[in-house]
A and B are shown apart, each in its own frame.
Chain A
Amino acid sequence: MWHLTLRNVRAHAGRLRLTVLAVALAVAVVAGGTALTGASQRLLDAQFRTAAAGVDVTVRAAAAFDSAMGVEVDREPLPAALVDEVAAAPGVARVLPVVEGSGLLEVDGRAVVPTGASVLSSFAPAPFGAFVLREGRAPTRSGEAVVDVATARAAGVAVGDRVDLLTDGRSTVRVVGLVGFADGDGLPGATVVLVPLADAQRLLGTGEGFTELRVRTTTGTPVADAVAALRTRLGADYAVASGQDTAEASAAAAGEQLGSLRLVLAALSGAVLLVGAVLVANTFTIVIGQRRREIALLRAAGATSGQVTRAVLAEAVVVGAVGSVLGTALGLVTAEGLRVLARAAGSDLPEGRLGTTPAAVLLAVLVGVGVTALAAVGAARSAARVAPVEAIRASVDVVGGPGPRRGRATARAVPLVAGVVGLAAVAAGAPAALLAPAAIATVVGVVLNAAVVTPALTRALGAPLARAGVPGQLAREAAARAPRRTTSTAIALALGLALVGFTSVVATSLRDGLSGAYRETITADLVVESARGEMLGGLSPAVADRLRSVPQVEVASRVRYGHVLDGGTTTALAAVDPATLPAVAELDMVEGSVEALAGGGVLVAESLSTERDLHVGDVVRLTLSHAGVQELEVVGVVDSLDAQALSTAWIVSLDTYARHFAEDLDASVLVRTAGGVSADEARASVRAALADHPTAAVRDQAAAAQARGAAVDEVLGLVGVLLGLVVVLALLGVTSTLALSVAERVREIGLLRAVGTTSGQVGRMFRAEALLVAALATVLGLGLGVALGALTVSAVLGREAPLAVSLPVGRLAAVVLAAGVVGVVAGLAPARRAARTDVLTALAAD
């Protein structure tokens, strides 16, 4: 049978070409995604390993957890005396103290703002540092610095130039050398400035202290022994780790931000595979339908139904394998493309060659072949049911088939009913965990049952087409009266559009909810925040200090964030000034008061209060990054929406924050301007006052509210990419199904031509049908997606804090337009083929 399979694939190569392409595209996305995340993680690992290559042991201040949300936590500086203590430990050969932090580089008065970190660090000579001098010399005297080659090139800095460094203040340094990072010219997405140790201590405000001690062990001392010895000697206040472990932890922290990318790519891969699978299933069903006579002949000649099933599945495996191999080859190109897109969407990915591993290739091929084979199971089973007698019986003229068979209607309705009941339960307050299975059941149910509504829907949608002339009428009838064929042609596009609709509605609602909450709660006239959008905020505390001295400013109130570990997950905690906050924000209190924060304690959001039954007077235990487990008394409960405006469910005072966190950066400064000062004047004076802080963006309240949605906009950007991919795949799907349908209906076309349909009319008929299919897919898919999205927003996301459903009208209109384009374009080739059908050949066809 294998021989026959190959013959079949070769004989029907034309019909299967688009299917192979669809599999290839789907696999390309899967392979590209895994290649991108895999390679990015490898590049990060290599980068940090290189950085720590010459370091055997690192000593830092202890922290309860190393990193949160992709950011390494700040630690207390190490006392100067620790250097001698470490140096005296057994097995330690050399100790190098290091001070690391961030400082913005300014060249010719213009800030160089990288997408990632602005690294400012003490220069660590080899073997302690991974930066190698490429030009000039190391910084030795105060006021000297070296810059990484990549930054120097981009910003036009040469040895001998003077550049400014912005930390709490501004300092001018002279560039005496350029460094590379191992083999590379710099760190991806970052600027690197290295200065003498004493300068770093002064600029970064560590006093006599250091941020890290790097240790070389004596020859013959195993690193593990040195680590153990140092741990015993230094006690629990210090974290002692091998250089490799530290590098791995750093790489893991940097890799955490790959996590969300991985999630998005997984969703993308899933969607593409689903659409691809539907397409494969369609193709095989039609191809098998066309080959019934041939299959019956095989059965008559003695093939068992099992053999027939296996032959069809083997064909799918061949198609899947060819598509997967092509797709994997395309994967690397896709990975580059995805990297560009992810960067554009704000993801900070390392530079470097994207390679793939045999395991990743194998995975992609297995997924491609598996999905293709699975998708063909239905067709294989129907092939197995072909009776040998069909070979001799005259061909039956039932093409496209009537509606769904009644016998199975009940079975088919089960998932739909279950799904809708589940959704209704969620809407009525059932656990949110039910949403996903109920939504999936509903989607499956709609896919299975769509053919029931297709006739009515197609007739309604086709009304304008029918008015346009006979071909439109014929197309409408053909589509409405072969509901299974029409539905299966539309379903791939419908699924894609459902996904796009769902994500758009959820993302837009979230965005509008976030900025809406901010708009209603924050009453500040101006908001100063870091233009770079750092995780914890990137404003120097000097910003707020400076603002307080501006006469046009009446109140400048800081907001800063810290990470806490709460029941195993890291989350953010906000710190505010209880004395000035009421002047710039209106927090509705359910219990207690903002002022009560002054005495220590914590405010919790109402949603959290309800969930955990927390009330004023209760004590909560939170793990803080370096203060460890702390008990805080609940002094108030804040309205959930208002807490959301501060992007957190936990709020403490700045004093409490200062006691428990090492970080000293503000996320934003909320400003109320003095009475009688115009908005323009206030903004101008604030801008002027912050001239030394180029990364501080001054926004009015409305713009700041808008900026809350920026992260969601990035998600929406990826949704756009998703839409593009789905459109391409759906285009292939509609085209291939329609082309197969043309082949299947060749006699019908011949008949139409014989009774006087012009070739132009035949072409118009199929183009109209393609458009109708696209319209059907839009109504089904977008309708389903938007409905599920709205339900998710109102019934699930809206539980924590009221969230209104926002319909992204413009975006949805664009989706409808894209679907229309798919309809028009997808119909072109099949329609041309149908129009060119030779009448006599068509009539003679069997």
Chain B
Amino acid sequence: MSTTTVTRPPAHAARPTPPAAVARGVVKTYGTGPTAVHALAGADLEVGAGRLTAVMGPSGSGKSTLMHALAGLDTVDAGSVRLGDVELTTLSERQRTVLRRERVGFVFQSFNLVPSLTALENITLPLRLARRQAEPAWLDELVGTLDLRDRLGHRPHELSGGQQQRVAVARALVTRPDLVLADEPTGNLDSHHGQALLAFLRRAAHELGQTVVMVTHDPAAATYADRVVLLVDGRVVGDLAEPTVPAVVAAMAGLERRAPRAEG
């Protein structure tokens, strides 16, 4: 297929590790007949463990759908999605829910927190749902690194946008998930807070060993990633290792030109 460079080893990691998540030939179609939308039309992706991967593509390219499929938020029509050694496509809705709370972390663009819970309660929510205790050292490390120590008792409306997003990141990481998914995490932040958040996501991958997949359309944000995967019309069509802004912009421009051709 058109996937090309997934096997290229990351620059910073000498030894190859098994991928954290793998999608193969994933097809997802919304609607039927002439109005059918092929959100994913045979997408293949391997997400390297302990790396920050950015997914980019024009609107409607299937970025979010692919991410939802990886997270077990949505079902797929065909193909296989594996998270570690678990095949998600055969799980029931309930099993996927349990898998989400134990093995996947989320950061959304907005509305990341439950308004009635404090920052700390929001962070530990997935643990409470799974009736697990937080590991004190890990929680402490997250809270310290994200500079949230004196905001833990506050409720979301008492926090700044950047703080809210950092709480969301802490929550996504608190279970030490196999996969952290971030959908436009800097979309609602100013550039200063955005850069700080991206830097942390990168640190989470490199220093804390977390696997992070981030959907973005901001080339500058993408440069924080170890690797950029390009999506068009529901397929992965390109892959950039160690991206730079000009490289990403050029690749994106290429995609924009390709898009109308709907090549197959």
Does residue B199 face the partner (Cβ distance < 8 Å to A)? no
Residues of A within 8 A of B131 (CB): 470
Q: Establish whether residues B116 and A756, one from each chain, have CB atoms under 8 Å apart when the complex forms.
A: no
B59 to chain A, nearest CB (A): 14
Q: Establish whether residues A748 and B157, one from each chain, have CB atoms under 8 Å apart when the complex forms.
A: no
Closest to A476 in B: B116
A751 to B110, CA, bound (A): 10
Residues of A within 8 A of B97 (CB): 753, 756-759
Q: A399-B115, A839-B73 are in contact. Are A755 and B121 (CB under 8 A)?
A: no
Count residues on chain A whose CB falls below 8 Å from chain B CBs. Answer: 32
Residues of A within 8 A of B110 (CB): 394-395, 397
Q: Establish whether residues B101 and A481, one from each chain, have CB atoms under 8 Å apart when the complex forms.
A: no
Within 8 A of A (CB), among B100-140: 100-102, 106, 108, 110-117, 121, 125-126, 128-131
9 contacts between A and B (CB under 8 A): A402-B155, A402-B157, A477-B116, A478-B114, A751-B112, A756-B102, A757-B101, A760-B94, A840-B74
A408 to chain B, nearest CB (A): 19
Q: A397-B156, A761-B129 are in contact. Are A756 and B115 (CB under 8 A)?
A: no
Does residue B188 face the partner (Cβ distance < 8 Å to A)? yes
Q: Establish whether residues B128 and A400, one from each chain, have CB atoms under 8 Å apart when the complex forms.
A: no
Within 8 A of B (CB), among A58-75: none
Does residue B141 face the partner (Cβ distance < 8 Å to A)? no
A469 to chain B, nearest CB (A): 8
Residue among B97, B113, B156 facing the most chain A CB atoms (10 A cut-off)? B97
Given contact pairs A400-B116, A751-B113, a sample of 16 additional A-B residue pairs in the complex whose CB atoms are under 8 Å apart:
A398-B157, A470-B131, A473-B128, A474-B117, A477-B116, A477-B121, A481-B117, A481-B155, A751-B112, A754-B71, A754-B73, A755-B125, A755-B126, A756-B102, A758-B97, A758-B98
A466 to chain B, nearest CB (A): 11
A748 to B111, CA, bound (A): 8
Closest to B102 in A: A756
Closest to B112 in A: A751
Does residue A708 face the partner (Cβ distance < 8 Å to B)? no
- B interface residues with partner A (beta carbon < 8 Å): 68, 71, 73-74, 93-94, 97-98, 100-102, 106, 108, 110-117, 121, 125-126, 128-131, 155-157, 164, 171, 188
Q: A394-B188, A477-B121 are in contact. Are A754 and B114 (CB under 8 A)?
A: no
User: Can you list the 3 inter-chain pairs with the closest CB atoms, starting with the nearest?
Assistant: A756-B101, A481-B116, A478-B116
Does residue A563 face the partner (Cβ distance < 8 Å to B)? no
Residues of A within 8 A of B98 (CB): 756, 758
- A interface residues with partner B (beta carbon < 8 Å): 394-400, 402, 470, 473-474, 477-478, 480-482, 747-748, 751-761, 839-840, 843
A191 to B110, CA, bound (A): 78
B72 to chain A, nearest CB (A): 10
Residues of A within 8 A of B93 (CB): 759
Residues of B within 8 A of A760 (CB): 94
Residues of B within 8 A of A751 (CB): 108, 111-114
Q: Establish whether residues A757 and B129, one from each chain, have CB atoms under 8 Å apart when the complex forms.
A: yes
Residues of B within 8 A of A843 (CB): 73, 108
B29 to chain A, nearest CB (A): 15
Residue of B94, B112, B117 near A477 (CB, 8 A) is B117
Residues of A within 8 A of B68 (CB): 840
Residues of B within 8 A of A399 (CB): 115
Residues of A within 8 A of B114 (CB): 474, 478, 748, 751-752
A310 to B117, CA, bound (A): 37
A751 to chain B, nearest CB (A): 6
Q: Establish whether residues A756 and B121, one from each chain, have CB atoms under 8 Å apart when the complex forms.
A: no
Q: Establish whether residues A756 and B130, one from each chain, have CB atoms under 8 Å apart when the complex forms.
A: yes
Residues of A within 8 A of B121 (CB): 477
Residues of A within 8 A of B115 (CB): 397-400, 481-482, 748
Q: Establish whether residues B73 and A755, one from each chain, have CB atoms under 8 Å apart when the complex forms.
A: no
A52 to B125, CA, bound (A): 81
Closest to B117 in A: A477
Closest to B68 in A: A840
A751 to B112, CA, bound (A): 7
A839 to B116, CA, bound (A): 19
